[in-house]
Amino acid sequence: MERYLSHSTQDTETIAETYAKSVKPNDVLAFFGGLGAGKTAFIRGLARGLGVKGEVLSPTFALVHEYEGTVPLYHFDMYRVTSFEDLYSTGFFDYLDTGAVIAVEWSENIVSALPKGYKKISLNRISDEEREIIIEESV
């Protein structure tokens, strides 16, 4: 388990950019933490660390954004996903094991469908600016 303390959005992005060095193809990064926890900021830093050029925005309406970096990065937002049928029709299962890195916002909504060995990234609010970031491997 790794634990970080972020003092700002900028800090979260930097932590994520460093973390990107240890990310491997086929990794599923499952984000936990409510509105404003810094999930998108983390994924913005992660994308930069994976060599993605261009803007990273939360795919709340598109459900998935695709970025081209040193490995493909698929950025999901499961906020509106409430059933297996919903999840199936996002194409989520089709992206697993394709050699890409998969980052999933609102993983709370699809916990029972996350693949074995996913990386659980929790962002906990400490104060308006500060966040505790915990990264652990699921069993």
Partner 1 sequence: MVLLGIDTSAKAASVAICDETQLLAEAMVNTKLTHSQTIMPMVQSMLENAHIALNQVDAFAVSAGPGSFTGLRIGIAAVKGMAMALNKPCVAVSTLEALAYNLRGFEGIICAVMDARCNQVYTASFRAHSGAVERLTEDSALPIEELIRQLTQFQEPVFFVGDGAGLCYNNKNVCLFDARLAPEHMVNQSAASVCRLALERMKAEPLAAVGAEAISPVYLRLPQAERELRQKQAAL
Output the smallest distance, CB 99 to partner 1, in A: 6
Output the smallest distance, CB 9 to partner 1, in A: 24
Maximum CA extent, the chain? 39
* Cα 51 to Cα 68: distance, rounded to the nearest angstrom: 8
Which positions from 86 to 105 touch partner 1 by CB under 8 A, shown as an x/- string?
A: -xxxxx-xx-xxxx------
Rank residues 16 and 30 by Cβ distance to partner 1 and give the closer one: 30
Decide if residue 108 touches partner 1 (CB under 8 A). Answer: yes
Short-list 95, 61, 100, 93, CA closest to 78: 61
Rank residues 12 and 90 by Cβ distance to partner 1 and give the closer one: 90
Decide if residue 82 touches partner 1 (CB under 8 A). Answer: yes
